[in-house]
Amino acid sequence: VVITQVLAEKVSDGVLGVKIKQFSGNTADTVEKIVRANTDPSKPNKILLDLRDDPGGLLPGGIAAASLFLPANSPVVSQVDRTNVPRAERTIFDGPFADGDVYRVALLVNGQTASAAEVFAGALKDNGRATIAGDDVSATFGKGVVQTVVPLGEDGEEGGLAITVAKWVRPNGEDINKKGVEVDVKVGPCGEGEVTCLPKDLFRDS
């Protein structure tokens, strides 16, 4: 069974709305197909990526999706383990929508935007590729740790102990955990009519 995690619809003022419910292994491919099918590369386009209530999902899916909108060699996220040595993830190629003059991007987040969705938001924000609008919040959820579960008792019958083995750090060097990604502008509450509550100048020029 394939669960649709990405939805798209044309919304007001010529904005393409893309709702990402959760990041998976095929999220980047789906987003790329939707944007290609609904934009014109010969003129400026406005894209609103709605990450409200996105709990994250797979980190590689978030990294791959962010790479669609970033130039080559852009930092996406760093994973820092107990040695305190960051292992950086960077883009390899120019993303198909990396040109900020053609693809103007904004994100809509809320307090339940978490984990891989925060990595995605932080990457676009810190690389100057998107304005972040918070739906009645000033920052996202703040989950930026990598954990492993150690079973307790024989065969884990006494439950398990979650141990943090690493943390995620944004391109600007800030931890995501317990801080989240701060928004550029607070809006809403927006409800389902997300575009109607957004400021007209949300889509920045490059």
DSSP state of 33: H
Residue type, position 5, single letter: Q
Choosing from 50, 115, 125, 167, the catalytic residue is 115
Per-residue confidence of the chain (206 residues) as pLDDT tens digits? 334 567 766 666 788 989 999 999 899 999 999 999 999 999 999 999 999 999 988 889 999 999 999 999 999 999 887 777 778 999 999 999 999 999 999 999 999 999 999 999 999 999 999 999 999 999 999 998 765 555 666 665 666 565 555 788 999 999 998 899 999 999 878 877 556 677 777 876 54
43 is catalytic: no
Q: Give strand pairing partners of 133.
A: 108, 185
In the set 46, 125, 143, 167, the catalytic residue is 143
In the residue annotation, 19 being an active-site residue is answered as no
Query: How far apart are alpha carbons 44 and 183 in whole angstroms?
Result: 24
So what's the pLDDT on residue 147? 55
Report residue 107: phi and psi, to 5°: -115, 145
Q: Is 81 a catalytic residue?
A: no
CB neighbours (10 Å) of residue 49? Answer: 26
Catalytic pick among 19, 24, 125, 126: 126
The pLDDT assigned to 201 comes to 76
| pTM listed for this prediction | 0.87
CA–CA separation, 37 vs 143, rounded Å?
Answer: 33
